[in-house]
Amino acid sequence: RINAFSSPLLAGKKVVITAGPTQEPIDPVRYISNHSSGKMGYAIAAAALAAGAEVTLISGPVALPSPAGARMINVTTAIEMADAALEHSCHADIFIATAAVADFRPDTVHPHKLKKTSTSAVMDLHLVQNPDIVAQVAALGSKRPARVVGFAAESRDAEKYGAEKRIRKQLDMIVINDISVAGLGFGSNHNKVTILTGESRTEIGPSLKTDIARQLISFMAEHWQLNSS
């Protein structure tokens, strides 16, 4: 068994990670967003750093300390995250998308705070779809990172949807997280995941997210034999 701490499994490898939620402004005081603590992505960044990688962490707003040694790119919206991901992932060895990207954003951002009116009890928001960041990175062509990894948080039929996402987004690997399991996932320090590649299925956990992160990094290095190149 390879241990991420005893040998630099990813020495000199360039790893780019997206983490946390994105926030999509409605007006100067309001936004729409997703649940995401960022813990899994930050733990993966720390594990990749411990394995000797050069890590760029593109993060939405979270309440976590930056992993020591990571190059931090702080962003707010999905479009900012997409721009940063495309800029920094060119020729990376591994791109890992853990971010909970808001799928939609308001089509216009109001320059002033929207006011309640006495005439209407409802309010309509018109939303447009955000870019699919990991799919865009996986479609970079000659600049594509050698390996592209996605995450899928699903509340039902987790493996079926996860397998479909891996193929649709042209990912080398997808890490599936079944959020219907009580006490795991969002906000929690624990998680249990299933990893699918084109040719393998591997379960990790339930364990601490920090431990899952180390095992994921070891699995990637081992599966793709990255330390032998």
| Chain contacts with ligand CTP (rule: CB under 6 A) | 18, 78, 97, 99, 101, 103, 130, 132-134, 150-153, 165
Q: Is 115 annotated as a binding residue?
A: no
User: Does residue 159 bind Ca ion (CB under 5 A)?
Assistant: no
Q: How far is the CB of 186 from Ca ion (least distance, A)?
A: 14
Distances (CA, A) of 119 to 110, 115, 122: 20, 12, 9
Secondary structure in 3-state letters for 65-79: CCCCCCEEEECCCHH
Q: How many Cβ atoms are within 10 Å of 144's Cβ, its own excluded?
A: 17
Please report which helix (H) or strand (E) contains residue 18, including its range.
strand 14-19
User: Does residue 103 bind Ca ion (CB under 5 A)?
Assistant: yes
Q: Is 103 annotated as a binding residue?
A: yes
Say if residue 186 is exposed, middle or buried (CB neighbours under 10 Å; 0-12, 13-18, 19+).
middle
Distances (CA, A) of 156 to 5, 96, 174, 179, 180: 35, 23, 16, 8, 7
Stretch of 23-31, 54-62, 88-96, 97-105 lying at the interface with Ca ion (CB under 5 A): 97-105
Q: How far is the CB of 203 from ligand CTP (least distance, A)?
A: 18
Q: Is 113 annotated as a binding residue?
A: yes
Stretch of 76-84, 101-109, 119-127, 133-141 lying at the interface with Ca ion (CB under 5 A): 101-109
> Which residues partner with 177 through β-bridges?
153, 193
Q: How far is the CB of 1 from ligand CTP (least distance, A)?
A: 27
Distance (Å, rounded) from C-alpha 57 to C-alpha 198? 26
* Residue 211 binding target from ligand CTP, Ca ion, none, CB below 5 to 8 Å by type: none
Catalytic sites, residue numbers: 34
Q: Is 131 annotated as a binding residue?
A: yes
**Single-letter residue type at 173:** M
Q: Is 165 annotated as a binding residue?
A: yes
Closer by beta carbon to ligand CTP, 80 or else 103: 103
Q: How far is the CB of 18 from ligand CTP (least distance, A)?
A: 6
